[in-house]
Structure 1
């Protein structure tokens, strides 16, 4: 969707890594971008960690590039608004550090590498598998590009988010409902009787992932109506 949305907003897109194609070496991706003299380089990913509890979205820019930092700061704002997992902020990449990413170091234009969620976290994994979440990740990227270049953002589909949310809104019918980080996992919060929560997706028929405010987690749907 990102390519379609970018073109919808008047951008010419050069794909340095074809969708669902053979993996292109990083050096070739950078060479193509530099040769084409593109104005902005975007690299979008899903993250992984040895700790399954780690989740959220974040992005990286080359630490000495003021324009790359500017883009990252705008992306952080838009991603926090559009993505349903927590923000981990932005990081300036540097030499001799684990953030020394080649696509940020070797490109001749402002560049951004975004990680939209952790495949190794149960909550983030389900979000990453959701087409709605991936569409919002694309929106965050292209909306940021528009703001970066001082252009108005035009969405492909003006969704009625509030109406959609109300259709999947449920009420807590027990005195206190535990919110967990996984099915029967660690308790990360509680919802009181009468609280309204938004269902994000049905995990297995009994366990749902829901949201109320900033709190997102697994709950037993038998205690919702």
Structure 2
């Protein structure tokens, strides 16, 4: 069996061979980069409305809340969805779950997939939200936890701070993210379709995504 290192060397050798007659970099045509970084007006209210609309279009359920009412809203959402257990990522503000009666399972990186599968819900923060694409970005930072936490439980409640976590576009998001971190880009609940386009949710992640936009 060919080792991984030798396979890599063979592939790179083929790439070098294919590029042998290519013009040197100074002679290569210039790449046009005059595209717009955003197609959205610089208006925080309009940006939030666009994020709300696109999240909903992807079948996420969107709520708006003040910081003061956030714990009671999260508690109500967990109760309304019948969540008896909720996994808590490291660094999640304890106040967010102050009003829930669900059993809290604190993750220190030791919960096995089978254990996570037995937990009803997860509550997290996020790194960023992209309005034009209706996308939530997680980077395993404080209050988000490792990737498995948001892929295995059936309900994901994600909190977005509208004052500093919402950007208009992907080009605006990328400079604010650390590419060395494990980035997870979420556009709606997990779903897939078969050849007859029958939609099935919850195959590759949570069946239900609830997003709470925290406003001032």
Compute the TM-score of the two structures, normalised by the length of structure 2: 0.24
Structure label with greater radius of gyration: 2
Q: Relative contact order, CA 8 A, sep 6+: which one is greater? A: 2
